Structure 1
Amino acid sequence: MRARYILGEILTGLWRNVAMVISVVIVTAVSLTFVGAAALMQKQILDMKSTLVEEAQVTIYMCSPHSTASSCAGGAATDAQIESVRTALEGEVLSQYVGSVEERDQEQALAIYQEQFAGEGFVSNFTAEDMPVSFHITLTDAEDSAAVVEFFQGRDGVDEVTDLLSAFAPFIDVLNQSTLFALGLAVLMLIAAALLVATTIRMSVANRRREIAIMRLVGASNVFIRAPFLLEGAVAAILGGLIASGMLWIGLQYIVEDWLTPTLGAQLISVTTADLIWAAPALIVVGAILAIVSSVVSLNRYLKV
């Protein structure tokens, strides 16, 4: 009987302040969307850094017949030049930085090239002799990549030395800045949502003063009187969390999975709609807690029971 009464009071309160409730739902949905986006972007940043560290961080491309670098003036790298790079990687100077080295010969390079550009007509124009020998180096500490790059850059027979972490640093910086921006907006919107919840509760208390007075006279407990007001805000916030989860699903599906992942590759973009399994419940819980805390503060101020 009490549960039915409380449910009826919740629905009545929501209907009486329907405009404010809709505002709470919208603001909560937007704020939680930013919170979820920030959390997912931070997960993507951590996963990306982990992937880049596990992969070869520095790659040395030896000269091929088509190289135009000044260090390739003599044409394709000779066996002696390739051996000198191999020896340097195993020597005392670099051994403290190098964790492992994978060497790819011209046949392997051609196979990878054909796989990457499968279906393109120009692929058949290249043979193994057109491909460069390369060394893919995994460092013991990714922060030492600059020292290894500097050691080999401009060396005779070396066409190019690439640093994978440095190459993706601008993209990671953009994600970091986007995370901070999303968190900043989320904080502002959450404050607005809390204030709206408080205002909604205040209006509900004002509209039901007579009912509250009657319940006091018949000896209703504090919890029984306050419960409908607390649950009103929680219901509105939970609806906002559900909408936020739906907005994140749309973003993950159409922006991340359908565009970003095919562009950058599934190896780097790890965030998918499957992450909503943990993100959606977390957002709903955050919204409910925010609403309940705001309701408690508002009730302590406007409802003296």
Structure 2
Amino acid sequence: MRASFIFGEVFAGLRRNITMTIAMVLTTAISLGLFGGGLLVVQMADKTQSIFLDRVEVQIYLTNDVSDSDPDCSGDLCRNIRADLESTPGVVGVEYLSKKDALVDARERTFKNQPEYADLISDNALPASMKVKMSDPERYGVIFDAFEQRPGVASILNQKDLVDRLVNVFNGLRNAAFALAIVQAFAALLLIANMVQIAAFTRRTEVSIMRLVGATRWYTQLPFLLEAVVAALLGAVLAVVGLFAARPLVIDGVLGDLYDVNVFAKITASDILTVAPLVVLVGVGFAAITAYVTLRVYVRE
């Protein structure tokens, strides 16, 4: 009997304040959607970093004189550089690319899907180089310090720097999404507090009567708290549905080409399912806490 009464009061209160309920559900959905999007960006950044770190190589470009005079790396200068690289701790492989090999690599791998750019590369544009695969990309400094000033070395490219820049872009997007989510969450909290106060005010007479006949304060205030929780739960569910809808309609459309060339790790349905419980928990938890504090501070009956 008590449970049916409480839930009846909850749904009656939600219908009575229907416009505020809708506003709270939508605001909560937007804030939680942004929060969930931020979590998905974090996951994408982590997976993208893992993908690239597995393929990270340090590339040592040789000077033009070495590239032109020693196409097969048989001369003492080039051969010694390669031998010293192979004996460096942490190096698991060294691949030599002559000027011809570098041109083929650029046209067939780097610009494989962009032939218009590949055709612009002249036959003499790229120097010879050595691709160094390391067991730990963080040890790039060892290679840089040992070979930066080495005769025959023109420059050293660390692909990990590019990965770090890419991850920093994702971190910026994540921070922006979280900042917007915080603003929306603040608006949602204000709506929850207002809804609880208005609901308690409109039913102050019946609450007073219930208190006179012996009902506890917790019993009379529980329906108001549950109203906030139900509205937040609806907003959380709407946020999760929005994430599922945004994935094929927006995210895949914008990043589809980059997914195909493995520039970004793909956001999957399982990723959304992973963050969904946290989105719901945060939404419901904050709603319950806000409603409880509001009732304790502003509602004295």
TM (normalized to structure 1)? 0.79
Which one of the candidate residues 285, 291, 296 is aligned to 1:295? 291
**Aligned-pair CA distance for 1:235:** 1.1
Q: In the alignment, is residue 274 of structure 1 matched against residue 266 of structure 2?
A: no
The alpha carbon displacement at 1:88 in A equals: 1.9
Aligned residue for 2:267, secondary structure, equals coil
> Which residue of the partner structure matches residue 166 of structure 1?
161
Q: Distance in 2 between matches of 1:149 and 1:113?
A: 27
Supply the AA of the counterpart residue of 1:214. Answer: I
Asked whether the equivalents of residues 77 and 157 of structure 1 are also in contact (C-alpha less than 8 Å), the reply is: no
How many percent of aligned residue pairs carry the same amino acid?
Answer: 26
Shift of 1:279: 0.9
Contact 1:58 1:149 in 2 (8 A): no
Aligned partner of 1:38 in structure 2 is 38
Residue of structure 2 equivalent to 1:236: 231
Shift of 1:50: 2.9
1:252 shift after superposition? 2.8
1:123-202 alignment runs, 5 A limit: 134-140=130-136, 142-146=137-141, 148-149=143-144, 161-202=156-197
Task: State the shift of 1:120 in Å.
Answer: 6.8
Q: Distance in 1 between matches of 2:230 and 2:287?
A: 9
Distance apart, 1:102 and its partner CA: 4.9
Query: Measured at CA, do residues 90 and 131 of structure 1 come closer, stay the same or move farther in structure 2, by a change above 3 Å?
Result: closer
Q: Provide, for residues 194-220 of structure 1, a one-character-per-residue CA deviation record: whole Å limited to 9, x for no partner.
A: 111000000000110111122212322
Which amino acid is the alignment partner of residue 95 of structure 2? E
1:87/1:292 CA distance change after superposition, 3 Å: same
Moved more, 290-299 or 219-228: 219-228
Q: Tell me the alpha carbon deviations over residues 70-125 of structure 1, each in whole angstroms, 9 at most, x when there is no partner.
A: 7534473533365333202134xxx24x34225377899869965773897999xx
Letter in 2 for 1:184: A
Match runs of 1:92-111 below 5 Å: 95-96=88-89, 98-103=90-95
* Separation of aligned partners in 1, 2:271 and 2:285: 22
Alignment of 1:213-292 (within 5 A): 213-264=208-259, 265-266=261-262, 268-292=264-288
Over 3 Å counting, the alpha-carbon distance change for 1:118 and 1:304 in structure 2 is closer
Q: Deviations over 1:183-239 (max 9, x none)?
A: 222222212111110000000001101111222123223332122111111111111
- Unaligned segments of structure 2, at least 5 residues: 120-125
Contact 1:231 1:292 in 2 (8 A): yes
Q: Which residue matches 1:127?
A: none
- In structure 2, how many angstroms separate the alpha carbons of the residues matched to 1:118 and 1:155? 36
Cα distance in 2 for residues equivalent to 1:7 and 1:273: 34
Asked if residue 2 in structure 1 is aligned to residue 2 in structure 2, the reply is: yes
Q: For 1:247 and 1:162, locate their aligned partners in 2 and report how far apart those are by CA, in whole Å.
A: 42
The answer as to whether partners of 2:14 and 2:21 remain within 8 angstroms in 1 is: yes
**Equivalence for 1:66:** none
> After the TM superposition, which parts of structure 1 deviate over 6 Å for at least 4 consecutive aligned residues?
104-113, 118-123, 130-133, 153-160
Distance 1:299 1:273, change over 3 A: same
Asked if the contact 1:32/1:186 (under 8 Å) is kept, the reply is: yes
Equivalence for 1:29: 29
Distance 1:285 1:6 in 2: 22
CA distance in 1, matches of 2:134, 2:47: 17
Is the contact made by 1:105 and 1:133 (CA closer than 8 Å) also made in structure 2? yes
Equivalent residue pairs, number: 291
Alpha-carbon contact 2:85-2:94 (below 8 Å) kept: no
SS of the counterpart of 2:300?
Answer: coil
Give unpaired runs (5+ residues) of structure 1. 64-68, 124-129
Checking the alignment, whether the CA contact within 8 Å between 1:194 and 1:294 is kept in structure 2 is yes
SS of the aligned residue for 1:84 comes to helix
Question: Map of 1:47-66 to 2, 5 A cutoff?
Answer: 47-60=47-60
CA contact (8 A) 2:62 2:127 kept: no
